[in-house]
Chain A
Amino acid sequence: MPHVHKMLKWLELAGMMMVALIFVFPFVWMFLTSFKSLQEVIQFPPQWLPETWLWENVVKAWDSGPFLTYFSNSVLVALSILILQFLTGVPAAYAFARYRFKGRNWLFGLSLIALMIPPQITFLPVFLELSQWKLINTLWALILPYSASAFGIFLLRQAFMQVPEEIVEAARLDQASEWQIMWNLMVPMARPVLVTFGLFSFIYHWNDYFWPLVMTNQELVRTLPIGIAMLKQSEGGVAWHIVMAGNLILVLPILLIFFLAQRQIIRAFVYSGVK
């Protein structure tokens, strides 16, 4: 029996290692490719580890365009969207969670409908709308359309609904205004959900390729994913090692944020009880 038990343990461990490998494969591949020569990238059978670690690939990727501009644009766009989404999403979620008013369900339904519209479907009318406002080729074209998030409203509403009514009533008895209740009571109680939503939003807009591609065509307002795609085109044939070094630059900042915030993520989904 102890033998069987031990074998089962090993099987479990092997199974989990397989699962882990499946999860990390694209990341590991991207990381290793970033430091290979082009010859090593395209050779068959594939070679996992680089013969010599070519750290200069990262420098080459960075130097092949105005990457500092792309980087700061990405930071500015992703952070501005995040702040605007919090400022518009928190009051909306609070109203949907705690107030009874005429048309509440209808308006909430409307925002959920928006949750399910892929950007590819609406980009053409939005593009025309923004060009009428003369915002194409500005960072506003990347920020404004995402300044409210239906997913954020939905997630925060779920979290706010879980706060017991007695706590809110107690705050009202203490003369707290609705804004104070919302910002000083509800928001701190929903912290894991806020962190998780913030992370999701930041990652999505940091990695977004489609929207900046269709809304900008000048280097001054381009973001990192577009810069990396241009890298692919400017190298003639596809220089995967340089492209992946560019992608490494793209992924590293969010990996760092992810390390700092990842403990909050599961708590958020347990807390908000999305259902």
Chain B
Amino acid sequence: MVAGQEERSWGALSDLPGHPMMWVLILTEVVTFGLLLLTFAGARAVQPALFAVGQAQLDATLGGMNTVVLVTSGWLAALAVEARATGGRLRARILLAAAICLGLVFIAVKVIEYVAKARLGIGMDTDTFFTLYFLLTGFHLLHVVMGVAILALVAVHDSLDNLKTGTAFWHMVDLVWVVMYPLIYLVG
């Protein structure tokens, strides 16, 4: 197969930055997270009082801080792609390393939050709110861990295409949190 044909062999997915297979994964993930977020919103509409009590036990400031941490990580990852595209290979790696560090900060803050809940005797089986809270944020946290690993991988194998592919996953993780945070912590 010639290069031109190979580039178009993924059809419309070939128009997106990075490897098309990553976009298949991203599309699958946004559908899954979308259903989870709508399930949460639907459950709150059915049990508003229970969800108000549950939400009052969350630390919105800590969640907001983690949002700033994650969007800043996304910013650094996006700048890494620009740096790599203009030949700044070392700069791109430093930016990716900083993005990874902030990803680790996000994970640490989330673990602190979970430990605080556990100390209050709050767990997945406490009530519907906390079942969904742990399910959604835990599933997202798993993606943050995967995202950090992917960023580390593309920092080593740092072709421009790899960077675009790896950071696309990271931005998806970022995007989901930007919607998840207000929905769980702020909307009453």
Q: Do A and B bind each other?
A: no
Interface residues of chain A, those whose CB is within 8 Å of chain B, are none
